[in-house]
Every structure is written in structure tokens, then in C-alpha cells.
Amino acid sequence: MIRLEHVSKSYESKRVFQDLNAAFSLNQSYLLTGASGAGKTTLLRLLAGLEEPESGRIIRPEGLRIRLVFQEDRLLPGLNVRNNVILEKGGAEKAQALLEELGLGPEAGALPESLSGGMKRRVALARALCASPDVLLLDEPFNGLDEAWRRRAAALIFREMAGKCVICATHYPEEMTPYAHERIGLD
Amino acid sequence: MANKAGKGRKIAAALGVAVFWLLIWQLLALLVGREVVLSPPLTVFKTLGEMVQEGSFWLALGASLLRILAGFALGVLLGAALGLLTAFCRPLRVLFSPFMSVVKATPVASFIILLLFFMGNQWIPVLIAALMVMPIIWAGVMKGIEETDRGLLEMGRVFELGWGWQLRHIYGPSVKAFFRPAALTALGLSWKAGIAAEVLAAPEHSLGGMLYRAKIYLENPRMLALTLCVILISMGLELLLKKLLQGSGGQETSLSSGGAK
């Protein structure tokens, strides 16, 4: 379980969270909803450990592998697609399989700059899945993907993350709804 | 075909520019009218032709190159190491920033005169070259680290990528982008300052020493021929370094092992 206890967070003068309490089970999937600026990205960044709360605390089990698909692709421009996906030791076979499933097999040796926006997004997804995380945080993972790819990507995410925790913020909730155990509104 | 024609036009333009400036030189030499003050280009080229047949010239050239390139390498190493340290450690940056400013602002001649009291004249050009290079490389490496994509650094943090791996694949490309122009500027500067140090310190077998002797014996054609030689070598070194840095800038396409901790 990951727990947020009395968490407050603000950016400059804007308060994003005030005394937020939440708990995420490590074997369930969550869909974060809310208008732009409601704090979805901030919550994911807090859970990933990229931000510290001003007050309150976040309790995570020791050694938990948390990976985040950022809103931007954040691929390394000097590494080819395969190496962008592997990043961690011994993931070559898994990386190749994920790339094939995401329709990027032929692009494995290409550099990110030669890919379309949708392809880059799929590489970012493959990278996070290849790391076999215990918790997968997704910040608008389907940006730039058409409906067919959104469906295929969602199915792949939940097959790979079966029995683990997925927390997803997306403007395309319909693709994630069949898989999410709980919907959390941040408005 | 179009490429070849373009190259031909470039060479013709470069030749035209060279001829223009040689004519200006010739005109100035005619106006001055005294070879001991300003020799005409033909006399200088003739002297250069004679000089390259002297064994002592090649010995001096080799020794100068060795000294100044050693100084350049030392400066690059020190500048890069200090750049890395000070970029990641604020107290060290506070400590070293004024030192680098002083090194940059101090006239080369002051350093040379100061060093004459402390070391043998063979080593002075080495140290002077290093001192010229170090602050430039230091600033380039620092800037490269400062300008590294914050988004990629966050990605590295989330994916628990090792520090060495991040240094190579995240900081590395950004540092390279700033290191290249810094190294090219530093090379030209170190060569000029190294030769100046040789003029003042006059070590055995050195182009600077030859320049000094040409000056005191009023051998203007020899002095200009040596200067021409220094300029040509500087251009050659810059070209060589450009090629070397281009070669090292290739994209990374394979990994021997993963980067996670």
C-alpha cells in the first residue's frame, strides 16, 4: 500500500493539495480524473518521489519499483529505440517483444528523432513496461495515439501489469475504464 | 556534380581572398620601403622555403608542438575535472570561480615573468598553454552540465539509472555540445600564448626562441616566415581538432550493459 497522509502541496501561490489523504493498493489500478490543473500530474510526481510534500507524508514500502511515463516522451536522443527501452540490465529480449507488440519492431535501431509523435509515445510506454515496475504511473500515456493504438496499448499495459499497481491520468478514460478498479476524481 | 561545382567555387573564392590580402601586404611593403621593417611576401616565402630545409627548424617545430599540445591536454584535463566538480558541488564553485576569473584576466606576460622565478624555461610554455585552456574548458563543461535537459535527469531519477550512466548518456551529449567550441577556442589561444611564452622564456629548440632571435638580429623576413608558419600550424591544428571532435560526436547506438543501479 502507498499512503498519502495529510499531504499539502502548492506551486508559488497556487495550492494544489490541502490535507490530501489517499491510499493506493499495490495490486489495483486507478484512474485519475479531473480538469487541467486539478493536480493529476502533481500527484503522480509526488508518488514517483520527484516532488516532496510541503506537509504531511507519503509512505511507500521499501524497495518498491516505481516507474513513470511522463507527459513528455523524454527519450534519450543519442540512443536508438531499443536502447532507450532497455535502460536496465538484461531487458533486451523483453524490450524487443514489447517493441514488436507496439508496432515498433522495424524501428528498434532508429534514433528517436526519426520517429513520429505517436511512435515516440509508444517507445516511452515500452520503456516503462520493460522495467517491470511494481507501480506504473502514467501521465497522459495516450497522447498522440489514435483510437486503435490507445486500445492496444491499454491492453498491453494491463496484461504486463496484471496483479500490480497502475495509476493513470488520461484525457482518454474510456480506454482505461475497463481495467481500472477505482476512479479518483481530483476536482 | 553540383557538389563538385560548389566546391570549385569555394576554392576559387578562397584563392581570390588570399591573392587580395597578399596584394595588400605587397602594397604595404612597397609603401614602407624597408625590408628590415616589413618584408614583401615573396621574400618571406623564399625565406620560409630555405627555413624548412634546416634541421633545427623541424626540431624547434616538433618541440614547440609537443610542449604546447601537452599544455593543451593538461588544461583540458584540469578544466574538465574542475568543471565536473564545481558543477555538482556549490562550495567548490564558490571557491574556484574567482580563481578562474583571475586566470582569465591576468596578462599572459605577467604569468610568464612570474613563472620564470619558479621553474625551468622548458616548462613555462606547457604551463602557460594549460592556464589559457583551463578556464575556457571549465566554463564549457559547467555550462554543458547546467544546460542538461532537466526532463531527462528526472527520467534518470525515476528509472534509478546509475550516476556514471547518467553522466555518459544524459550529461555527456549536453557537455559535448559546449565542449567542442570551447576546445576549438582554447586550442588557438593556447598555441598563441605558448609561442609567446617561448619568446619570453626562450627555451632551447622552440619556434618562440627562433622568433626572439629573428627579432634581435633584425631578420624581418625570417620573423615573418616563422609567424606565417605559426599561423598555418594553428589553422592545421584547429582543422584536426574539428575532425577529431566530429568523430567523437557520433550517436550512441549500442549499450554493453544496462544503466540501472
> Which of chain B's residues have a Cβ under 8 Å away from the Cβ of A111?
251, 253
Please give the ipTM for the structure prediction: 0.92
Give the SS3 label for residue A90.
Answer: coil
Q: Is B79 within a domain?
A: yes
Contact by Cβ (8 Å): B125, B197: yes
* pLDDT at residue B87 greater than cutoff 90: yes
Helices (H), chain A: 40-48, 81-86, 92-101, 117-130, 147-160, 173-176
Q: Is B199 within a domain?
A: yes
Best CA proximity match to B119, nearest among B211, B209, B212, B197: B197
Q: Which residues pair with A8 in a beta bridge?
A: A55
User: pTM for this one?
Assistant: 0.82
* Residue given cell 622552440 in the structure block: B206
Count of the separate structural domains present in chain B: 1
Best CA proximity match to A186, nearest among A163, A170, A172: A170
Q: Is B185 within a domain?
A: yes
Q: Do A90 and B155 touch (CB under 8 A)?
A: no
Which tens digit of pLDDT belongs to each residue from A63-82?
899 999 999 999 999 999 99
Q: Which domain holds residue B186?
A: 57-206
Counting residues of chain B whose pLDDT is more than 70, the rounded percentage is 93
B97, with CB counted inside 10 A (0-12, 13-18, 19+), is middle
Picking from A22-26, A158-162, A171-175, B135-139, which range would have the lowest pLDDT averaged per residue? A171-175
Inter-chain Cβ pairs, chain A and chain B, closer than 8 A: 60
Tell me the C-alpha distance between A143 and A146, whole Å. 9
Q: Is B253 within a domain?
A: no
Backbone angles phi, psi at A162, to 5 degrees: -55, 130
Nearest to B258 among A66, A91, A109 (CB): A91
CATH number, domain of B179, equals 1.10.3720.10
Best CA proximity match to B115, nearest among B126, B104, B99: B126
> Which of chain A's residues have a Cβ under 8 Å away from the Cβ of B252?
78-79, 83
Q: How confident is the model at residue A91 (pLDDT cuts 50, 70, 90)?
A: confident
